[in-house]
Amino acid sequence: MGLLVDGTWDPNATGDTVASDRFERSKAQIRNWVTEDGSAGPSGEAGFKAESGRYHLYVAWNCPWAHRTLLMRALKGLQQHVPISVLAPKRTEDGWVFDPDNGYVDTLSGASALHEVYSAGTDTYTGRVTVPVLWDTKPGRLVSNESAEIIRMFNGAFQSVCDNKTDFFPQDLREAIDEWNSFIYPKLNNGVYRAGFARSQSAYEEGVKGVFEALDRIEKTLENSRWLLGDTLTEADIRLFPTLARFDVAYWSAFKCNQRRLIDYPGLWAYARRFYALPGVAETVKLDIYRRGYHSRSDVRNPHGIVPLGPIVDFSEPLAAA
C-alpha cells in the first residue's frame, strides 16, 4: 500500500509483510508521549503537554486500531478537547486519502492524503503511513502513531481537561490489564489478520485456532464477570471491543474466522451490547463501512468484490434484565 521513504511517498513499497506464509505486522515508529506537564514519557522526546485543543487525531472508521482511540476519546469525554479528521474508508495508490465529496476532509490542514500529513510532521520519516496518528498543532509535529500508547495518553495525561475522570488503567489493576492485553492482542486483535492474510492452510489454521481460543476463554470469564476484570471497565475492554464490533460483519466471512459468530457466544454477545450502550460508543461503530471495506475487491481474497448482505447484526438489541 506504499511507504514514505526519507519523507517521499513511494506507492510501490510495502510495509506489513508475510514471512514465508505467515502475516507479520510492522511496528509503529513515532512514539512520543503527551504528558500532564510536558515532560518526557516512556519513549520519545519531551515537550508535549496535555492541553485542550492543542492536539488533532487522524482516524479512519474502518481501522480497529483507530477505533480504540476513538473509544477512549469518547469514554473520557475528550471530543471537545481533541478534534479529529476522518480518512475515507478506502486506500488508493496514495495510501489513506481524504474524500471531500463524501465528507472525508482534513479539517486541520486540508491535506488530500495522510502521507502529506506525515511528511509535514516529521523530518525524514521512512515507514508505513497509518492511522491513528496524533498531531501537535503548536510545533506542527506528529506525536505518536501507536494506538496502544495514544489511549494511555488520553486516559492519563488529559485528566485535567477531560470530562470523565474515570481511570481506565488504575494502578491496582495494571498487571491484570496488561495480562489480558498480552493475551488478546496476538490471538484475537491481530489473530484475525493472521488468519485473513495467511498464505497457507497451516498458517490460516494457526491463526483461526488462536482467535477461537481467545473467544472461548473470554466467554468463560464472562460467565461470572460483567467486564474482563469483574465490575470494573478497563483499558483491556476498550482494546477488545473493536474486534468484536467487526467480527460478524467482516472477520467471520472475509477472513474465514467462521467456526462461530459473536452472536453464538451468549456472554460475549451480551458483553458487546453492554459496551455498545456506553456513552459515545455507538457513534464510533460503522457496521456498513466494516462490511464493505473488508469485502472490497482483492485479487487474493475477493477477486469480484462481492459484498455479502449478512449476517444482520444489531448491537442496540436490548439486554435481558439482570
Residue 219 has pLDDT above 80, yes or no: yes
Q: What is the pLDDT of residues 286-315, one digit of tens each?
A: 999 999 999 998 888 888 999 999 999 999
Q: Confirm whether 162 is a catalytic residue.
A: no
Q: Where are the alpha helices (DSSP H) in the chain?
A: 64-75, 114-121, 147-156, 174-184, 191-196, 201-221, 235-246, 252-254, 266-276, 287-294
Phi, psi (deg, nearest 5) at residue 248: -75, -35
Q: Does residue 19 surpass a pLDDT of 70? A: no
Q: What is the pLDDT of residue 117?
A: 96
Q: How confident is the model at residue 322 (pLDDT cuts 50, 70, 90)?
A: low
List, edge to edge, every strand of the sheet that includes 141-144.
Answer: 84-87, 55-60, 133-136, 141-144
Residue 22 confidence (pLDDT) above 60: yes
Residue 201 has pLDDT above 80, yes or no: yes
The answer to pTM > 0.75 is yes
Mean pLDDT for the stretch of residues 8-34 = 77
Q: In the chain, where are the structural domains located?
A: 3-160, 171-294
Q: What is the pLDDT of residue 122?
A: 86
CA distance 36 to 51: 8
63 labelled catalytic = yes
Mean pLDDT of 248-264: 97
Mean pLDDT of the chain: 94
- Find out whether 262 and 248 touch, Cβ atoms under 8 Å: yes
275: closest CA among 308, 313, 228, 207? 228
> Confidence band (pLDDT; 50, 70, 90) for 320?
confident
Average pLDDT over residues 109-123: 94
162-195 pLDDT, tens digit per residue, is 989 999 999 999 999 999 999 999 999 999 999 9
Architecture field, domain 3-160:
3-Layer(aba) Sandwich (3.40)
**Looking at the DSSP assignment, which residues form a beta bridge with residue 95?**
92
pLDDT at 25: 64
Q: Where are the alpha helices (DSSP H) in 132-246?
A: 147-156, 174-184, 191-196, 201-221, 235-246
User: HEC profile for 149-175?
Assistant: HHHHHHHHHHHHCCCCCCCCCCHHHHH
How many percent of the chain have pLDDT more than 70? 96
Beta bridge partners of 5: 8
Q: Given 55, 125, 193, 276, which residue is catalytic?
A: 193
Question: Are 114 and 85 within 8 A, CB to CB?
Answer: no
Cβ distance 95 to 85 under 8 Å? Answer: no
**Range with the lowest mean pLDDT among 30-39, 121-130, 158-167, 268-277?**
121-130
**pLDDT tens sequence across 23-41:** 676 777 899 999 999 999 9
Give yes or no for a contact between 114 and 129, defined as CB atoms under 8 angstroms apart.
Answer: yes
Provide the grid cell at 246: 467487526
The pLDDT value given to residue 27: 76
Assess whether the previous peptide bond of 308 is cis (omega < 30° from 0): no
Q: What span, in angstroms and rounded, lies between the C-alpha atoms of 284 and 281? A: 5
Average pLDDT over residues 64-70: 98
pLDDT at 82 over 70: yes
- Report, as an integer, the average pLDDT of 80-89: 98
Greater confidence, 245 or 27? 245
Cα–Cα dist 54/135, whole Å: 9
Helices then strands, each counted (H, E), the chain: 10, 10
3-state secondary structure of 17: strand
> Are the CB atoms for 272 and 245 separated by under 8 Å?
yes
Q: Which of the residues 55, 58, 63, 125 is marked catalytic?
A: 63
Report the pLDDT averaged over residues 45-74: 98
In the CATH hierarchy, which fold is given to the domain comprising 171-294? Glutathione S-transferase Yfyf (Class Pi); Chain A, domain 2 (1.20.1050)
